Structure formats: structure tokens, C-alpha cells
Amino acid sequence: MSFIRQRYPVWTVVIFLSLCILWFDHTDQRRGFTCRAQLGINPPFSQCGTRNLLDFFMAMNGNGEGYLLLSGRLGCGEEAEVVNDILDFQYEKKGGNYALHLRKQNAVINRLLPQFREKDLIIEIKQLDQRRYLLSSNNRALLVCQPQ
């Protein structure tokens, strides 16, 4: 430490450390986050009496914007409803959580994922192990997904 004090003035060390802290603090937001999961939908949406699987994909691009994609088929045979919907959002990191602001509502996603009916959500992303993340809101688990 005395070497640093002799070689550099205190104000340069303080500025350098401040810049390092700011850079590391914003690394999570710039890096982004993507994950995918399969959601099992039970009747009454399934007329076949079997469970339907929908693909869920969420991307937080690192620039404060992201989207949620839900795709698959509900039902069976000719009557099957094709689901292929996107929900755009803006986000901001607040502590260990992310504040999501949904740009517009989507009726299909609201019906299948009622947690996303709110225009503003607080989402917590918690790493369970190397391959799985838990997405939760208001201390309720939404889903477990794998990073892409």
C-alpha cells in the first residue's frame, strides 16, 4: 500500500477504485440473462384430458430491454389452439431483484400465466445449481428454467 501512495496521488487511486466499483456494479445488467423452460398446462385448457407442454423463453438483453416468448399447442387434433406470443418488457436491476415494466398486455399470456397480468413486476432470479434458475415474484415461485 505504501508503494501505491508513493507512486500515485490519493485522488487517482480513489477515482480508479470508484470506476472499478461502478463497472462491476453494472456488469450484471450489461451481460443479460436468457432461460427456457417447459410449462405443463392442465385442463380446463386441455380438451384431450392430457397435459399440454408449452415452451417458455425469457431474454433480458443486457440493455434494459427483454422479452418473454410462449409457444406450443393447446388441445388436440383439429381444434388445437396454437400459442405463439411475445411479451416485451423493460427492466432495471434493483438490488438483487429486477423490476420489469411490461410494455403492453397480452391476453393469451395473461390467461396462461396470470402472474404476468400486472404492468409492473418485481422478479427475483436465484441460481439453484449450475444448470437451473428459479424465477420468483412476491416470494412465490413462478418457474424453474435453464440458461441458454
Give the model's pLDDT for residue 112.
Answer: 78
CA atoms within 13 A on the CB side of 28: 11
Give the model's pLDDT for residue 60.
Answer: 92
What residues of the chain score a pLDDT lower than 50?
28-29, 45-46
Q: HEC profile for the chain?
A: CHHHHHHCCHHHHHHHHHHHHHHHHCHHHHHCEEEEEEEEECCCCCCCCCCEEEEEEEEECCCCEEEEEEEEEECCHHHCEEEEEEEEEEEEEECCEEEEEECCCCHHHHHHCHHHHCCEEEEEEEECCCCCEEEEECCEEEEEEEEC
Going from the C-alpha of 61 to that of each of 35, 105, 114, 121, the distances in angstroms are 12, 20, 24, 17
Q: What is the pLDDT of residues 31-63, one digit of tens each?
A: 688 889 888 776 554 456 666 788 889 999 888
pTM of the model: 0.68
